[in-house]
Every structure is written in structure tokens, then in C-alpha cells.
Chains A and B, each alone.
Chain A
Amino acid sequence: MFDGLRSLTWKHADTIEQWVRKATRGLCQEARERIADEIREHYTQALQAALTAGAGHQEAARRALETLGSPRKARAGFLKTNLSVRQAWLLNQMTTWGGWKRRLYLFFLYLAGLCMMGPGRLHMEHHEAHFVFIGVSCILFLGMLLLASGCLALQRRGYIRLGISIGWTGYIVGAAVPLMVGAALWGREASFGLAWLIVIALLSAGLEHIAFFGKLRSKQTEP
């Protein structure tokens, strides 16, 4: 427990802890810790001021807590100015996949997936539509990767929420549209490609544990 409250009973401390918990619910770990430290420090000073003014412990604690106001209203404000757990996760994923080596890796996996989907019969049919589909999908996917780069730059300039929103919309549209079009074009056979893409996604999720990609990630997330 923080220094300023050592002289208080557990009940008072529990009350400010409850306020902090309510006000920071749903925020990412970093924001939660920073806000909790600031609010506790603020409360401690308000408490000391009330004690110096002659109030008893109970009254001083009540006044100090009252000056903070509603934790729900404060939480609404904090959610507008700090990242939620989900936003922090999305940002972390964008940063993780922000390097060119990883992007190229992702692109080739995607390309391979499309070739499997549109079916691996390209060599047999040589249908023009397959080439057009794969070409357009690749352009869309590369555009999406470029868009994500732009969004990371936005995030570095302080437009974090905008960066996350546009970047992820790009990812979803860039990846989902070709898959949907492919599924519509090749029907049942597309399901083999989709299954293959799911395997790729699962393998990709495990990349964190591979030393090479782990090193890349730590480099990218350094300030």
C-alpha cells in the first residue's frame, strides 16, 4: 500500500482502491498503473490537506474521496484518452507485423494461400480469371500493408486511435475481400484453401515463440 495511507485503517484504503479499480476498468495495464499511481498520490495529498485542516481520519478520507467525484465519469474520460486492453493488443499486433521482413513473410503466406484456393489447378486450366483474381488480391494485400505502415506513422504522431482503426480496417478488408471473392468463384474447392489459410494463421500465431521472429519483435517495439 502506498505511503500516504499507512496511517489509515484498511477500510479507507479499500475505498480509494475501489475507486481506482472502477475508474480504470478495461484500460490497458500501462494506463491502469499510471492512473492508479496518480490518483493515489492525489488522494494522499487531499487527505493530508484535510487532516491538516483539522478533520478527523474518517471525515478527511470521505472529503478526499468526494473531491475525486464519480469513478464512472472519470472512467469515461480515461477511455477517451488512454488505450483499452483491446486497443493496446491491436496496436501491439500492428507493431509486431510492422517490419518489412515480417510483412513479406505474411505476403508470401497469403499468396500461397490464394494459389491453393484459386485452386492449385492454375497449371491445368490457365484460366485468365484466376490470374486476374490473384493479381488483384496481391495488389490489395500489398496496399493494405502500406496502409498499415501509414497508420503506424499516424500512431507515432499521436493519432493512436485513428491509426488503429484505419490500419485494422485495411487489414480486414484487404484480407477478407479476396477470400470472399475466391470462395464465391471456386465454391467448394475454396474450402481447401480456407482450411490451409487457417493452418497458416495458427502457425503465424506461434511465431512469437521462434527466436528469429522474437528478436525482430523486440527490436520493433523498442522506443
Chain B
Amino acid sequence: MNLKGTLPLLILRALESGPKHGYLIAAEIKANSKGVLDFREGALYPALHDRENKGLIQSYEEVENGRTRRYYRLTQKGKKALAKEREEWRALSGAVTMFLEEA
């Protein structure tokens, strides 16, 4: 299932537990949703760059086993945005669920 527009929120959530590189972020989203939330991983990087441009996440390079990897971490602004977007999502999904069950 590819829920358009949710990837930016999922990225922030994936980074809540600590810095990660792109592959790990994609793997965590897929694993934690038991494969329900699926997306083309090429789309992950533009979304990461967009969040970085907005100052919600920060990137840095780290050498691991002789290979350079770019890690991303949440900024303070990103933590606030995650809390706000999480609340909005809960309100939205709660309203949709309520409506579907009533109908």
C-alpha cells in the first residue's frame, strides 16, 4: 500500500529512535508496517532532501567499514514537527475510522 503524502511523516518517525541512513529508514518503515507500507525506494531520497531543506532533519557523513554513508538525524524543529504531524494524523485517521464504521 502506498499512501501518498505519508512518507515525510514516516521518515520523521523512523528517525525518532536515532540517526539512520537511507536504506535503514526504508527497511524500518517496511518492517514496522509488516510490509503494508510499500514504496519505491528511489522516492525516499527526494523526500529526505526535502525534509533536510526544511530543517527538520540534518545529514552527515560517516565512514563505516571503509565506506562512506550519509546518515540523517532529527533536529529540534523536526521533533516538534513530528509531534504535530503525529497528532494531525491521529485525528485524521480516527475520524476516517469512525466514519467508516458508522457507515
Using CB atoms and an 8 Å cutoff, list the residues of chain A in contact with chain B. 2-4, 19, 23, 34-35, 37-39, 41-42, 44-46, 67-71, 73-74, 77-78, 80-82, 158, 160
Using CB atoms and an 8 Å cutoff, list the residues of chain B in contact with chain A. 21-23, 26, 40-43, 45-47, 49-50, 53-55, 66-70
From A35, A37, A69, contact of B68 by CB (8 A): A37
**B53 near A78: Cβ-Cβ < 8 Å:** no
From B23, B50, B66, B68, contact of A42 by CB (8 A): B23
Which B residues lie within 8 Å of A37 (CB)?
Answer: 68, 70
**A77 near B41: Cβ-Cβ < 8 Å:** no
Given A38-B70, A42-B23, A77-B47: A158 touches B53 (CB 8 Å cut-off): yes
From A19, A42, A70, A81, contact of B46 by CB (8 A): A81
**B41 near A41: Cβ-Cβ < 8 Å:** no
Which A residues lie within 8 Å of B66 (CB)?
Answer: 3
**A74 near B46: Cβ-Cβ < 8 Å:** yes
Nearest neighbor of A67 in chain B, beta-carbon distance: B41
Nearest neighbor of B67 in chain A, beta-carbon distance: A3
